[in-house]
């Protein structure tokens, strides 16, 4: 895609250009991101404070929207106007798409000096680098196949952490029967796709997930196993409350936190909401892998992509990248955010029980070859394919097609989006 095609409207360009005003000061960074919920904002403050201590002023450019789509629209306008931010929060294949535009910075010298190559997992480097050039600093690794549960409800109903699909359904039946919302869910395409990622792994296993969502094998996409996965989504739909449509993910988390709902199926960024509410893992809430996915980790990684800026802004940009990659920052940030460090040498002993579990399982999955980029979060396939899966998954979840049709439509949609 050429940069000239990335322009949304001239009015948007004009309006967003005002964010920058005059040229930024040498020791100043402008950062575009979508971390606007309570837990996310608290985590980001760790980075802001670190930079302030280094004499770098932080210019915030938050663009609300859990999946980052609105942020990418804002970025296109800024780049088209010739005035990109210093750094932009970005995920997966979006990073590689921007790298191909020739508008990102070269961080190779800094990466070599600080030894990033040795401490960042190869699965993350696949997105941090393009054509051998470092262009982004990964700040975390999120795993997406988690369940967050209200411990008081589980204790009240005598429930144990389910480890299989049948045990999960039995638990949800008890929660629903007791008058609680069984599954707290926000009816947005990316949230439904997040659940579907876990359901596909639980239904077909890690190799099936790889064939379907990474290899994009048509036979796997339109298979009996995929039909069964869609059937399971229909089952889960019956445990969601009537007001789920359009609900933001953090509001679904709040339902579990407040004891209105039993569980939420969401990535480990949800933990930041529980912690921000003063709750403790094992005491107030439970964290465990989506039943049937134990041993497999689907992930995404927030990275800050550095854009090409003038020499007067380059020093501050490198300070930002260096600060992000500092082991102490990675631990402090992820302790609040709910994710785990992007560096394998970070000391996770100060993380809570869920964080330590996440680090352990991430390492094990990487070793076993069951660490996979999440389709729902743009780390398994390019954006066009991801969005094509969204349309089918959401249409099926809302009862617009049966499971057999959904599997056929999924295969067709992916083939058309390749």
Q: Which CATH superfamily is domain 3-142+300-356 in?
A: Periplasmic binding protein-like II (3.40.190.10)
167-193 exposure pattern, b = at least 16 Cβ within 10 A, e = fewer:
ebbebbebbbeeebbbbbbbbbbbbbb
Asked whether the predicted pLDDT for residue 349 surpasses 50, the reply is: yes
Domains 3-142+300-356 and 144-298+364-417 agree in fold: yes
pLDDT band of residue 140 (cuts 50, 70, 90) is very high
CA–CA dist 386, 93 (Å, integer) = 10
User: Residue 240, SS3?
Assistant: strand
Q: How open is the CA angle 240-245-249, to the nearest 5 degrees?
A: 80
The pTM (predicted TM-score) of the whole model is: 0.82
CA–CA dist 2, 36 (Å, integer) = 30
Query: What pLDDT is recorded for position 114?
Result: 98
> What pLDDT digit, counting tens, does each position of 299-342 carry?
999 999 999 999 999 999 999 999 999 999 999 889 888 899 99
Query: What pLDDT is recorded for position 41?
Result: 87
Query: What pLDDT is recorded for position 39?
Result: 78
CA–CA dist 267, 200 (Å, integer) = 15
Asked whether the predicted pLDDT for residue 26 surpasses 70, the reply is: no
Asked whether the predicted pLDDT for residue 242 surpasses 90, the reply is: yes
CA–CA dist 80, 72 (Å, integer) = 12
CA–CA dist 351, 332 (Å, integer) = 9
CA–CA dist 382, 96 (Å, integer) = 9
Give the largest Cα separation in the chain, rounded: 63
Which residues are within 8 A (CB) of 75 and not within 5 positions of it... i.e. 6 or more apart?
Answer: 32, 84, 85, 88
Asked whether the predicted pLDDT for residue 21 surpasses 70, the reply is: no
What CATH code is assigned to 144-298+364-417? 3.40.190.10
Q: With beta carbons less than 8 A apart as the criterion, state whether 284 and 364 touch.
A: no
Q: With beta carbons less than 8 A apart as the criterion, state whether 143 and 267 touch.
A: yes
Mean pLDDT of 66-91: 90
Query: Higher confidence at residue 1 or residue 182?
Result: 182
Q: Parallel, antiparallel, or unpaired for β 87-91 and 129-130?
A: unpaired
Asked whether the predicted pLDDT for residue 228 surpasses 50, the reply is: yes
Asked whether the predicted pLDDT for residue 17 surpasses 80, the reply is: no
List, as own/partner pairs, every contact residues 93-97 make where C-beta atoms lie below 8 angstroms and the sequence separation is at least 24, other chains included.
93/127, 93/378, 93/379, 93/381, 93/382, 93/383, 93/386, 94/68, 94/378, 94/383, 95/127, 95/128, 95/130, 95/135, 95/136, 95/303, 95/305, 96/127, 96/130, 97/1, 97/382, 97/383
Q: How many CB atoms lie within 10 A of CB 10?
A: 11
What percent of the chain is predicted at pLDDT more than 90? 80
What the block records as the tokens of 286 is: 């439970």
What the block records as the tokens of 277 is: 């509410």
213: which DSSP letter?
I
CA–CA dist 345, 303 (Å, integer) = 18
Mean pLDDT of 212-223: 98
> What pLDDT digit, counting tens, does each position of 352-383 carry?
999 999 999 988 888 898 999 999 998 999 98
Instruction: Output the DSSP codes for 126-159.
Output: HHHEETTEE-EEE--BEE--EEEEEHHHHHHTTP
DSSP bridge partners of 33: 62
- The values of phi and psi at residue 135, to 5°, are -135, -5
Which residues are within 8 A (CB) of 7 and not within 5 positions of it... i.e. 6 or more apart?
Answer: 13, 76, 77, 80
pLDDT band of residue 67 (cuts 50, 70, 90) is low
CA–CA dist 69, 91 (Å, integer) = 11
309: which DSSP letter?
-
User: Residue 24, SS3?
Assistant: coil
Asked whether the predicted pLDDT for residue 18 surpasses 50, the reply is: no
Kindly provide the residue ranges of all beta strands, DSSP E only, lying in 144-271, ordered along the sequence. 146-150, 181-183, 261-265
pLDDT band of residue 25 (cuts 50, 70, 90) is very low
pLDDT band of residue 65 (cuts 50, 70, 90) is confident
- The values of phi and psi at residue 288, to 5°, are -155, 160
Q: What is the mean pLDDT of the chain?
A: 91
Burial of 314 per CB tally in 10 Å (0-12, 13-18, 19+): middle
Domain boundaries, the chain: 3-142+300-356, 144-298+364-417
217-240 exposure pattern, b = at least 16 Cβ within 10 A, e = fewer:
beebbbbebbbbbbbbbeebbebb
pLDDT band of residue 66 (cuts 50, 70, 90) is low
Asked whether the predicted pLDDT for residue 226 surpasses 50, the reply is: yes
């Amino acid at each position: 895609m050429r940069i000239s095609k990335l322009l949304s409207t001239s009015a948007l360009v004009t309006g967003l250009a005002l964010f920058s005003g005059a040229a930024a000061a040498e020791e100043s960074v402008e950062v575009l991101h979508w971390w606007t919920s309570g837990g996310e904002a608290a985590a980001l403050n760790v980075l802001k404070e670190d930079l302030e201590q280094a004499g770098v002023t932080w210019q915030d450019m938050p663009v609300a929207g859990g999946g980052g789509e609105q942020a990418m629209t804002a970025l296109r306008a800024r780049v088209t106007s010739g005035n990109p931010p210093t750094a932009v929060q970005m995920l997966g294949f979006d990073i590689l798409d921007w790298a191909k535009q020739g508008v990102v910075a070269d961080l190779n010298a800094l990466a070599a000096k600080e030894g990033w190559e040795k401490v960042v997992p190869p699965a993350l480097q696949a997105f941090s680098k393009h054509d051998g050039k470092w262009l982004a600093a990964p700040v975390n690794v999120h795993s997406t196949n988690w369940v967050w549960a209200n411990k008081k409800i589980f204790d009240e109903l005598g429930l144990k952490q389910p480890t299989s699909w049948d045990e999960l359904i039995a638990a949800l039946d008890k929660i629903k029967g007791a008058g609680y919302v069984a599954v707290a869910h926000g009816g947005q395409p990316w949230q439904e796709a997040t659940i579907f990622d876990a359901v596909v792994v639980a239904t077909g296993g890690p190799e099936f997930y790889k064939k379907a969502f990474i290899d994009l094998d048509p036979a796997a996409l339109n298979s009996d196993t995929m039909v069964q996965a869609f059937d399971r989504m229909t089952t889960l739909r019956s445990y969601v409350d009537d007001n789920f449509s359009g609900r933001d993910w953090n509001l679904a988390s709040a339902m579990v936190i407040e004891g209105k709902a039993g569980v939420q199926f969401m990535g480990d960024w949800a933990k930041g909401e529980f912690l921000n509410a003063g709750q403790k893992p094992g005491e107030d809430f439970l964290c465990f892998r989506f039943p049937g996915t134990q041993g497999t980790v689907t992930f995404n990684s927030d990275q800050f992509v550095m854009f090409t800026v003038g020499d007067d802004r380059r020093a501050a940009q490198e300070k930002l990248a260096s600060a992000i990659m500092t082991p102490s920052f990675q631990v402090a940030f992820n302790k609040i955010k709910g994710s785990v460090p992007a560096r394998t040498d970070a000391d996770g002993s100060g993380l809570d029980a869920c964080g330590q579990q996440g680090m352990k399982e991430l390492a094990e999955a990487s070793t076993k070859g069951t660490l996979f980029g999440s389709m729902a979060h743009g780390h398994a396939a390019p954006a066009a394919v991801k969005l094509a899966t969204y349309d089918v998954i959401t249409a099926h979840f809302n009862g617009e097609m049966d499971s057999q049709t959904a599997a056929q439509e999924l295969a067709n949609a992916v083939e058309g989006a390749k």
